Amino acid sequence: MEDADISPDGNQSSGNSEVDSEPEEASASASERALRAASLARRGSRVAGEASHGGSSIERALADLDMEHYDDSDEDPAMGVLGANPGMAALKHPEKDPYFEGARGGADDAGSDSDADSEAGALTLQENDRLILAVRNEDDVSHLEMWVYEPQDARGPANLFVHHSILLPAFPLAVAWLDCNPRGGVAPGNYCAVASYEPGIELWDLDVVDAVEPVATLGGADYAAARDLQVEDIPFSGGKKKSKGKSKNKGAPEVAVRPGSHEDAVLGLSWNRLVRNVLASGSADETVKVWDVTTQQATNTLKHHKDKVQAVAWNGTEASVLLTGGFDKRACLVDVRSPKSVQEWKLPADVEALAWNPSQPTSFVVSCEDGAVLCFDARQGAKSSPIFATKAHSKATCVVAFSPGIPNLLLTGSTDKKLKLWDVADPSAITLVASQDLSVGAVFSAGFCGDAPLLVAAGGAGGTVAVWDSAADDGVAALASQRSPDVLAAAQAFYGEEAEE
């Protein structure tokens, strides 16, 4: 396994639901599929060619990541960690495997009358199950995976497994959960936006197992228009009729993107929880776009960055305020209602991640490629000094996220393989509360569970997902008991301390 990028936002909206197992009907014609494959192959060749030039950003990034040593671990697995190697699927009691007859999450102890009943039982989600979204690439094949974390309870010990996966057409770079149905309607659903090296953003229905096509795509290559220009077979020759003589064009040409689309890889996504049909994206084409997912149209294109845009984040209280960060070593703040007015803050290195502090809605943190984490107050205006700055990690800090239930508890994650929890309530004396190696390799993505504010999920270069019950750490428990005792009590009950032995 090469890497896993995760989003812990895919929380189940209701208990005892059963995921629809009917696959979607494939809508693309054979010629369109062939055209898409040819375009992807050509794009891959171009990317590979760029990477082969000495001193390229991709080559330098791979050297910095030191992939050969990511699986090395200097520490023993710690308490409260589930999914750490070896063997996240290895169970102390094999009879409790969820795929065995009579196991939790599967058929009942009396057995099942058919394989279909057993499979349906394994797909059934319980009220306390927590869902995690991960994108993973292995042997040049990419997947979107929905993981299920079952907490310890009377049914058995904690368990973590892949519920179902979806094959993706391109290498994934970012993922964002959303509840807005791209096909319209006000009822909340269970959807996911996936960004990749392709310029399009795919929207998938997570309640459909074995889906073969996204429900919608934002931008991307205009295969339909290219197909209309095609006269004979693929590869076609620029929309012109093939001459009787020898063809001068031996390969498929580049397929143009749809109007309003990004023109390069999409690196970052952020769903607007206050305006549910709105999604923001940042791209290697140096632009930020604001999308209406119900119409699949870009409503704004922002061009205030001078290099690749790595991260975007909507403010949690002001629906029109968007934070962006890029490889131009700047964090920028813009109100999309007046996009020409942009505030900016210069940073010591390229931006890796951004996060707003829910306890202080005008405050945000930015993490950088050099491991630094800086905090700014937007009220102090553009180019103001940071409220605090710290060298959080020895390598790139790829993750910053605040606990939704413990005020000023900040999570950071890095390619140095560490996850850290910080108390940032006092900017003059921020404190490291806990540190953990989840044995996922270099940490690429991590976050808190919205329904369990002390539960952390992470994915990394090891190609797997792990869950950290941070309430098991004495320092975290002490901080939580001071600031949110009700959250701590609920967490301890949820994590199974009161479960039957």
Domain 3-107+131-221+257-494, CATH class in plain words: mainly beta
Tell me 94's DSSP state: G
At 33 the pLDDT is 53
Quick one: CA torsion of 493, 497, 500, 501, rounded to 10 degrees? 170
**How distant, in Å, are the alpha carbons of 7, 196, 277, 311, 465 from that of 445?**
7, 15, 24, 12, 10
At 292 the pLDDT is 98
> Interior CA angle at 133 toward 88 and 487, to 5°?
85
Query: Is it the case that residue 47 has pLDDT exceeding 50?
Result: no
Residue-wise pLDDT tens digits, 315-363: 999 999 999 999 999 999 999 999 999 999 999 999 999 999 999 999 9
At 336 the pLDDT is 97
Share of the chain above pLDDT 70, in %: 69
Q: What is the mean pLDDT of residues 118-129?
A: 76
| Lowest-pLDDT choice from 67-81, 177-191, 325-339, 450-464 | 67-81
Residue-wise pLDDT tens digits, 366-414: 999 999 999 999 999 998 999 999 999 999 999 999 999 999 999 999 9
- What end-to-end distance do the CA atoms of the chain give, in Å? 35
Query: Do residues 84 and 466 touch, judged by C-beta distance below 8 A?
Result: yes
At 255 the pLDDT is 81
Tokens of 72: 């090395």
**How distant, in Å, are the alpha carbons of 57, 396, 430 from that of 325?**
18, 15, 23
**How distant, in Å, are the alpha carbons of 14, 165, 248 from that of 240?**
54, 40, 12
Residue-wise pLDDT tens digits, 10-33: 443 333 333 444 444 444 445 555
> Interior CA angle at 319 toward 199 and 374, to 5°?
75
CA 253 – CA 91 distance, rounded (Å):
51
Three-class SS state of 48: helix
Average model confidence (pLDDT) across the chain = 81
Domain boundary assignment for the chain = 3-107+131-221+257-494
